[in-house]
Amino acid sequence: MTFLENYIAGELLPPVSKAYLGNVNPSTGIEYSKIPDSDKEDVEKAVQSAKAAFPSWSKMPKEKRSRVLIKLADLIEENLEELAAAEAKDNGKPLKLATRVDIPRASANIRFYATAIMHYASESHAMEDAAINYTLRKPIGVVGCISPWNLPLYLFTWKIAPAIAAGNCVVAKPSEVTPMTAYLFTKLCKQAGLPDGVLNVVHGLGPKVGAAITEHPEIKAISFTGGTITGETIARISAPMFKKISLELGGKNPNIIFADCDFEKAVSTSIHSSFANQGQICLCGSRIFIERSIYEKFKAAFVSKVKELKVGDPFDDNSDQGAVVSETHMNKVLACIETAKKEGGEILCGGERIVMQGNLANGYYIQPTVIDGLAFNCQTNQEEIFGPVVTLTPFDSEEEVLKYANSTKYGLASTVWTSDVTRAHRIASELEAGIVWVNCWLVRDLRTPFGGVKNSGVGREGGFEALHFFTEPKNVCINLK
Ligand code: NAD
């Protein structure tokens, strides 16, 4: 049994309480490691360590900061196999997905911000011959980064990399459901020569560790990715303390298929956008709207491909899908399927838990599920499920599909399939979402703004947006007369 440790002031430490939580492998349902059940005392130590590291890290030339981060990105690549295996075991996702996407992206995040910081310039505003203004951008100090379980190392590094590159020191909390790769990452930080205290990782529960980070008066900014309800709690606590907050929250993304689309491509990419990572990607399209003239054709082709998806051992190369992340989450998703049935939905395929054989018998597997016959405004089509479940709904006009697409409280991502360029622009402009993909899905350029509108979040990550977030601008006005 591995006992994970917190990473504070460059040291791997047990929690002050000496208490631990069990960490379960979702593909077997068996506990295989223990994580620190930390509390505010550990967070306090982490904040003091970050505070002590801040003066020298923030003043270190950015070339040097960049070099350390590049070394860290290289080390992630060198340890790809170990990290990908750890991610698959901790999260239940297919090893091939962790190898192809999660871990390379974690390295790319760090490399991106290691180089972005070298190109990060500030503005100057000349007032004819009266004065000239320039903007100084300074790191904030100690910042908090709180991340979820669905893309563990990928999203953990997506926050930490810009924070550190900009010269801040970080107190970070990975999800207690998937803590392993963040723990392994701390060892790489040491190896890369990241100065002690620049990154501190405190493991444990959200309402204890996450809350202690949010409430700490010396943590001046919080970057959070997770559920909308947790985001609301963080916003409520942070607002009266005047903290900067960046919130990347839930979604209920529409995937709109027009009759003039490239049919084969729309079907095959929709399989991916519906079920990748067992549907546990905040960007997955969970509501598929199909123009009525191709509804039956799309439904038949889509359902037939879904039935071919192989759910199985994450470590089997033939598995398209692994386990969902936890027993609690599996039960939540299965309950959502029951709600859909009660609402009059017809289960076209899937809808059940899969009980595997042998050592996987207690794992958390769900059949990829497709439902039709539901109203656009029922609970199933309004609330995030975050699992391998999608609904199909026909539409007759652009106006109607925009009404359906924009009807939820969320506004994260959306996908449109059409060969009509003018329509693509028109729909993209009217969709209430932070991200619109046209004739593709999950094509990511790290320079672009990433985030949602409405209850899907506040602020944007990505590119210079994240560097703006992790710095404070100061205008300096010089009199020219
Ligand atoms: P969650 O909100 O339960 O937990 C996220 C993190 O917050 C975890 O580290 C958790 O321990 C911590 N936390 C929980 N309660 C807290 C509290 N009171 N104070 C501070 N921190 C607390 O979310 P989850 O179940 O881990 O992740 C799934 C959710 O994340 C989904 O809603 C999904 O859409 C969303 N998500 C959004 C994005 C995005 O970019 N918008 C990306 C991935 C996931």
pLDDT on residue 259: 98
Q: Is the CB of 233 under 6 A from ligand 1?
A: yes
Q: Are 310 and 354 in contact (CB under 8 A)?
A: no
pLDDT on residue 253: 98
Closest by CA to 246, choosing from 103, 317, 140, is 140
Ligand 1 center–CA 150 separation, angstroms: 9
Ligand 1 center–CA 167 separation, angstroms: 25
Ligand 1 center–CA 160 separation, angstroms: 16
Q: Which residues are catalytic?
A: 248, 282
pTM (2 decimals)?
0.98
Q: Which SS3 state, helix, strand or coil, does residue 100 take?
A: helix
Burial class (CB within 10 angstroms; exposed 0-12, middle 13-18, buried 19+) of 354: middle
Q: Is the CB of 461 under 6 A from ligand 1?
A: no
Region of 350 (left: φ > 0; alpha: ψ -120 to 50; beta: rest) is left
In tens, the pLDDT along 389-437 reads: 999 999 999 999 999 999 999 999 999 999 999 999 999 999 999 999 9
In tens, the pLDDT along 22-51 reads: 999 999 999 999 999 999 999 999 999 999
Pocket probe for ligand 1: among 282, 332, 435, 460, the residue whose CB has the most ligand atoms within 8 Å is: 282
Which tokens hold the place of 413?
């991502």
Q: Is the CB of 415 under 6 A from ligand 1?
A: no
pLDDT on residue 195: 98
Q: Is the CB of 226 under 6 A from ligand 1?
A: yes
- With cut-offs at 50, 70 and 90, classify the pLDDT of residue 61: very high
- With cut-offs at 50, 70 and 90, classify the pLDDT of residue 125: very high
Q: Which residue has the least CA distance to atom 26 on ligand 1?
A: 148
Ligand 1 center–CA 229 separation, angstroms: 9
CA distance 467 to 118: 11
Q: Is the CB of 434 under 6 A from ligand 1?
A: no
Pocket probe for ligand 1: among 35, 175, 203, 328, the residue whose CB has the most ligand atoms within 8 Å is: 175
pLDDT of 129 above 90: no
In tens, the pLDDT along 345-394 reads: 999 999 999 999 999 999 999 999 999 999 999 999 999 999 999 999 99
Mean pLDDT across 121-126: 95
Q: For the chain, give the percent of residues with pLDDT over 70.
A: 100
CA distance 357 to 445: 41
Q: Is the CB of 462 under 6 A from ligand 1?
A: no
Domains defined for the chain, CATH in brackets? 2-249+456-479 (3.40.605.10), 253-445 (3.40.309.10)
pLDDT of 104 above 90: yes
Mean pLDDT of all residues in the chain? 98
Ligand 1 center–CA 243 separation, angstroms: 19
